Amino acid sequence: MSKWVTFHYSFLHGVQDLVEHENREKATRYFQRNYRNYFELAGPFKAKLPCTYGYPHRKFCGMSKAMFNKTYGKNLKGGAN
């Protein structure tokens, strides 16, 4: 079973608030509870991971850990494992 991550990405500050989850279902529940903590766009949003919420330069993301490592790298400041 693969691990999943949720995080906030900003063009200026990079990856922040990285949270690792045991599976997609737990990551999806966390995403649904927290995506509006960063900004609120018009209308409801039904998350189906992998997905992002926001703008290209600033967004809340949910994806598999393998996809995260490939896209953002394994060695990040702030404790990405």
Average pLDDT of the chain, as a whole number: 87
Mean pLDDT of 56-62: 94
pLDDT the model gives residue 76: 54
Q: Is the pLDDT of residue 53 over 60?
A: yes
The pLDDT tens digits for 10-38 are: 999 999 999 999 999 999 999 999 998 88
Q: Which of 5-9, 10-14, 39-43, 44-48 has the highest mean pLDDT?
A: 5-9
Q: How far apart are CA 31 and CA 28, in angstroms?
A: 5
